[in-house]
Structure formats: C-alpha cells, structure tokens
Structure 1
Amino acid sequence: MEVQYFCRLRPLGEYFIGGEKTFDFWGSKGSAKSNYFIHSEEEISQATILGMIRFVILKKNDLLSDGWNDRGKKEQQKVFIGANGFTIDSSQKTYDYGKLKNISPVFVYEGDELLLHAPLNHKTYWEDENKKSHKNKKYMPFHMCQTGYSDMGQITYVPEDFVAKDGLCYDFMKLNDEEIIDRSDVFQKQIRTRVSKNSAEDGFFKRTYQFLKKGYSFGFYITMEEDWCPETTVKDEIVYMGQEKSAFVLSFERKDRAELKLGTEADKNPDYQVYYIASDSYIEDFSLVKNMICYAIIEKKSYRFLTLQTGNNYAESRRMSERFQFVKAGSVFYVRNGMGEAFKTAFSETDLSRALQQIGFNQMIRIGE
C-alpha cells in the first residue's frame, strides 16, 4: 500500500543551492572551477530533493553508511532507496528508488497557499488614460493576434500587447486567485566576500546567499510505500542541502496531493490550447513539437547530471557531468487546436519523460481545462 505526504521545508537561515552558474565547466571531463561571482539558486532542484528524501529514509531506518564497515547494509539500502540516484539516460526505461515512488514539483508556499511561477505570457503592466503604467495585480495573459501564415501554411500568432521595455514577468502567482506576488517579497539576497584557499593563487570571491522571507516555505508531495519507516512520520527534522550544508527544517504531513488547475473556460481559444509548464521540463526531441505550436514564450535553464562512463574495469570507469537544457517553469506553449494530445504525448509520454515526472520534473497544466 502506498501513502502520500505533504512535505514542508523551512530554511533555518541563509542558504546556498548550487547550479550551472556556480561553476565554470570546460574540457571533455567536465571538470569545474569557481567563478569570481558565485550565486545561489533561489529554489531547490528536484534532484536535490530526491537526494535529501533518500537520505532521510536511510536515517530513519538506521541504514546510513558508517564507513568501511557497512558491507552488510548495502543490500538493505537498495531495498529502501534503490541502487542509484537520478541521471538522464534515454536507454533506461525505469528508475527504482525503493520505498520512494514519486515526488511532486517543489513549490513556494505562503502559509498554506501554493505559489506558481507566473506564466510568461502575463502582461506585467497596463496603461491608464493618461498613459501612466500600473502593475497588473492579477494574472492577465497577452492578447494574441494572427500575423499570417508559416512556410507550411499554418496560421501564426504573436502577442499584440507585448511591450519590449516591460519585458517578461518573473514573479509568482497564487494558485487559488491568480494574484501576482513580487519575487522580491519572497526572496532576499545576502552577498558575502570570501577567500579561496583551494586555487593555485589565493584570492577573493563573492558568494550570494538566499533567504526566504517570513511566512514563506518550500513544499512538495511524496508517495511512499506504507512500510517505509516504523515511525511513518517526520517532524522538525534537520536536513542539510547544497554547498556549505545549508540547514532546513523538514516535516511530513499525511495528505493527498490535489490536482493543479489554472484558468477558466474564458481562457480557451478555438484556434489553440495554452499549456503552462509547472516545473522545469526536458523535451527530448524538440523537433517533434515544433510544428505543433503556433507560438511559445519560454526560458531555458541548464542542468548538470552526473553520469558514469564505464570502462573495462573499475579503474577505467569515471564519473562525468553532462549539461542538459530544460524549459523553465512558467514557460507557455500555444499548441494548435487538434494537436493537444500529440503534444502531451511528445512532452510527457516517453520513457525518459516518465522518469523525470517521477521526481517532479516535466509537469504541465493546460490553462482553462
């Protein structure tokens, strides 16, 4: 039997979560060096959450490795958390994480209220009769207009009221009433100067830490086998993530995951369907969806996953990092009418997509459905 938990994470102070911009990568081995400016990610990646939950499972079952004398625990560890962590491998059809079956996307919460990334088709400002700009306090999608036909004879669209100087919106949006929340109301930065002792020449570098402001937390759902732990609960557990082992407080609450819905019937259009990307997503073959869409507003984000390049023996095997381009949460696709099912199949029905969904990536919502 499987059970679901709502998990809440609260940082105990400043935190530092590394990302692609944290390091410079070069060479075939994917080696790395620090930049002068090192920036923490604001949000926690799904892969980081996976590693943290697997650690908690081992800790609660007294299965953490204790150095060289842990040979007897190896097989038990595989039962509870699986044999391997996550990496992108299109040849691998299933991923086994033992007692852990599924992780939802990680979202920011204001109290118990879920915040989504504001859709990138949100019109940030509106003008009054005196041409004075005001911020839209609610989600207001761009008005799309036809511009002609593509080389394949398909109708094309563009946002008629997009203003380049206003840019795109990178704020948050409350799920229940679509109120826009400024990103600066959620996160706060702290810049510190540090001394590098590991480089050939000692020098200074700047590190940007993140804070969550009061009233905000991270939250996500997990699905576990009911016998994952004798205690079957976690309350105010201290866990560490990211560089410098940033401390967070983790609590579980047994609770079923609610379906995410966005928009109303009024958001529907006879010529296209709008799909909102709810969590960072990897599209294995973008050429498969290119002709299905009449417009898209997307941002990309680089992820690196460790891979094992096997050789003839252990000495010839090595761990490597490989970079992948993901579509960021908040991106939107305008899918041509009649192609919605084909788009969903290409986006989420491949073996790799299912593996990504298992740990919270590749989640999307049709606006107005």
Structure 2
Amino acid sequence: MGTYLVKLKPVESFFFGGERVFDFCKENDEPKNNIVKSKEFPQQSSILGMIRKEILVLNQLIKPKWNYTPHEKEKIKELIGEKSFSVKDLNKDFGLIKGISPVFIIKETENNCRFLIKIPKDHNNNKDICKYTPLKFSENKIKSNVNVEEMHFPIDFNAKNGLSEDFLDIETGEILAQDKVFIKDCSIGIKLDDKHQTQNNSLFRLEKYKFNYDRKCERNNKCFGFILNIDETDKNKTFNNYKNIVNLGGEGSYFSISFENIKFDIKDKMKFTSKATNLNEPYCKIILLSDTYISKYDYDQNCIYSISKKVYFRNIASENYNKNKEKGKPYYKRFEKSKNKYSLLEKGSVLFTDKDKYHKLIESINNSNLQKIGYNIFI
C-alpha cells in the first residue's frame, strides 16, 4: 500500500462550480442568473475522477476515442474500477484507489508544511480570539420561538459577527483569516449569440479564486492537498515522485500535481481536537471534516442541535460502458450530470446530540462508500 501527500498548486486562478450556473433568458427579458461564484474547495468526487484519469495516464491507457480492446478494458477495470462514483451505490470498487482524504489547504514554510481546514462552525467568532474556541452553552435549557422543546443554546454567540469562514491550523489550533488564504479574482463580460452579436441583458460576472501567497515568501507557499492511499504492486507503476499538469474544475482551471510518499497519519497531527469534545458541555459533539451526506430522517431523529450550512451536490457520471453511446464518442464528452441532486452538510458543520442518540447519529454518518473518497469524515 502506498500513502501519498498529493499537492495541487494552481497555475492561475481557479473555479470550482456548483448547482448555480449562468442562466440567460430570451431577448428583452431579465436574466435569471448572471453572477456565478466559485466554491473554495473541489468536490471529492472530482478529486476521485482526476486520480482515476492520472492512473490511466501513468499506465499509458488514455485513448481519446475510448476505442479499447477487450483486454485493455479489463486492465482499466482492474486499475480504476468499472463505473463512476454514485452516492447510493454501496461497496464501490475503484481498483487501486483504497482511500482519499478530504481536501485541505497546505501552507508551506521553510521547515515543514502546515495543514489548514475550515474552522468548526461552533467557533466563538470574536475578533480578539486567535485560537479555536468553541461556544459555551447555557447550563439551563431555554425555550425559543422556533423549537417546541427546551434546549441548551450558545450563550456567547454574537449574531453581528456571525459564523467564522476562517481556517484552522490542525496542529496549533491557530486561526488564519479567510482573506489571508483566498483572494477573489472577478471578471465581467457580455454573452454573445451564435452570430457573435451582443445580446440584451447579457452582462455577466464570474468570480474565481486565487491563493493569497505570503509576500515575504520567495515562492508560492499555499496549495490544496489530500492524502491518497493506493494499492501499488510490482506489476503496476508507482506514483512516487510523479508530477503532471491536470485540469480540475471549470473555466480553464489547471493545477500542477505532485506526489510525495509519506509515513505519517494526518489524524495524529490534529492536536486541536482536545477542544473538540468538552465533557462539561450538555451535548455530545461531532465535527464534520468533510462535506457529509446523511438522510433527513436520521438527521431529524438523532441530531438535537446543529451549527451548519448546506451545499448541493450532483455527481458527474461517465457513459464509458454504455455500448450504444460509446462508439466514436471522444473521452471528454463521456460524462453527464446525475439527475439526482443531494443536499450535503458543509465541512466544518457541528452536530450536537445527547448520549442516548450519539451512537445512532454516528452510525448514520458512517458510510464506507462515501468515506472511501473523502466524504462523511468526522471527529
């Protein structure tokens, strides 16, 4: 088994799309949506697809028209599995890929790498606080206008400050402000018709991201990263010291990818977790380190309280093994969005429950299919 720290360094600005896309109406009508914003992180399913493709590149098995012999198709199945990721499919096999961690931010220093994640949403977002500090809950239960039951509520939450969007050093618990990590790179334009003529109501705005690199550093010192566990044997080529340029996301987002063989477990570096569970608090707490899928029924039944946000997910599925559609169709046109759209809890969300429901909530989050590629990871 090979374990790699994979680094993704953007060539320029980058764009990770979601459900909200440009939507222009007919002439003289107001546009439905002419502003599209990038997400901060790529989807884990996109990371999986990128790694699957790189395995084929490494083994010289990429053919533009997908015109493979039966023997080559069997080899591809052995290397990366047969089909694309799907939320509902259980025990999915992705060939050599045995595990992908949630994507995080790497801040490189002269001596080592610091790992940054989204700060848990129960952080007390007081600007004077420089380390992760969970909110304190009331000792007595309070009845609100929203809830029919009396509950413990955070007593030091400042609605004016809102929830923090900053980042957390997993070893020190120190906070790095969002604008110290990302910079918005915005552009505006006008949509043209098929005849390259300007249309009415066709002005649009596209918001991408760049990393905010430290000025004192001589090189670009921030990038995306994740841990890859892959089954490497003597008969297969290794990713050790492998480098390439990959396309990830939309709008021409390219990254330099590199693989570094590592021995450490990133979970051992998470020193901030000493504050993740406070035995004096009235609730048991779960911090989501990745976007997480949980059924609405299990969530309603077992989660008493949460500080969370939602993200929407619709995976892209390949048509590679549909014989009626694959003939002569180029590789890059063999993917389409799933018809099913899922609502996920965003990474950094915090779930609260009592001791009686804690294990049931854990069971509803544990999902080997999702956890294999970096969803549903929690502490």
- Who is 1:147 aligned against? 141
Alignment RMSD (CA, Å): 3.0
- How far the C-alpha of 1:197 sits from its partner, in A, is 4.0
Matches within 5 A, 1:1-369: 2-23=1-22, 35-67=33-65, 69-72=67-70, 73-89=72-88, 92-111=89-108, 112-125=113-126, 134-145=127-138, 146-148=140-142, 156-197=151-192, 202=199, 203-214=202-213, 215-227=221-233, 229-256=236-263, 257-259=265-267, 260=270, 262-264=272-274, 267-269=278-280, 271-283=282-294, 285-306=295-316, 314=324, 320-348=338-366, 353-365=367-379
Secondary structure of 1:190's aligned partner: strand
Secondary structure of 2:224's aligned partner: strand
| Change in 2 beyond 3 A, CA 1:67/1:153 | closer
The letter of the residue matching 2:246 is: V
- How far the C-alpha of 1:291 sits from its partner, in A, is 4.0
The letter of the residue matching 2:374 is: G
- How far the C-alpha of 1:196 sits from its partner, in A, is 2.8
1:266-290: CA deviations, max 9, x gaps?
A: 822363221111000010x232243
CA contact (8 A) 2:186 2:207 kept: yes
- How far the C-alpha of 1:314 sits from its partner, in A, is 4.9
1:297-320: CA deviations, max 9, x gaps?
A: 1111111124699xxx958xx964
- How far the C-alpha of 1:161 sits from its partner, in A, is 1.4
- How far the C-alpha of 1:70 sits from its partner, in A, is 2.7
| Change in 2 beyond 3 A, CA 1:14/1:3 | same
The letter of the residue matching 1:263 is: T
TM-score norm. by structure 2 comes to 0.80
1:177-222: CA deviations, max 9, x gaps?
A: 1111110100011111234346797433221121112221111011
- Who is 1:28 aligned against? none
Return the alpha-carbon distance in structure 2 between the equivalents of residues 187 and 293 of structure 1. 32
| Change in 2 beyond 3 A, CA 1:49/1:264 | same
1:152-192: CA deviations, max 9, x gaps?
A: 99762100111211211111111111111110100011111
| Change in 2 beyond 3 A, CA 1:199/1:97 | farther
1:28-49: CA deviations, max 9, x gaps?
A: xxxxx99411222221111111
1:119-150: CA deviations, max 9, x gaps?
A: 1111111xxxxxxxx43111121110132479
Return the alpha-carbon distance in structure 1 between the equivalents of residues 171 and 92 of structure 2. 33
| Change in 2 beyond 3 A, CA 1:341/1:55 | same
Return the alpha-carbon distance in structure 1 between the equivalents of residues 299 and 338 of structure 2. 30
The letter of the residue matching 2:368 is: R
The letter of the residue matching 1:55 is: K
Return the alpha-carbon distance in structure 1 between the equivalents of residues 246 and 189 of structure 2. 25
Q: How many residues align?
A: 338
The letter of the residue matching 2:358 is: G
| Change in 2 beyond 3 A, CA 1:221/1:7 | same
CA contact (8 A) 2:239 2:259 kept: no
Return the alpha-carbon distance in structure 1 between the equivalents of residues 15 and 324 of structure 2. 33
| Larger CA deviation: 231-240 vs 163-172 | 231-240
TM-score norm. by structure 1 comes to 0.82
| Change in 2 beyond 3 A, CA 1:322/1:308 | farther
Return the alpha-carbon distance in structure 1 between the equivalents of residues 34 and 135 of structure 2. 39
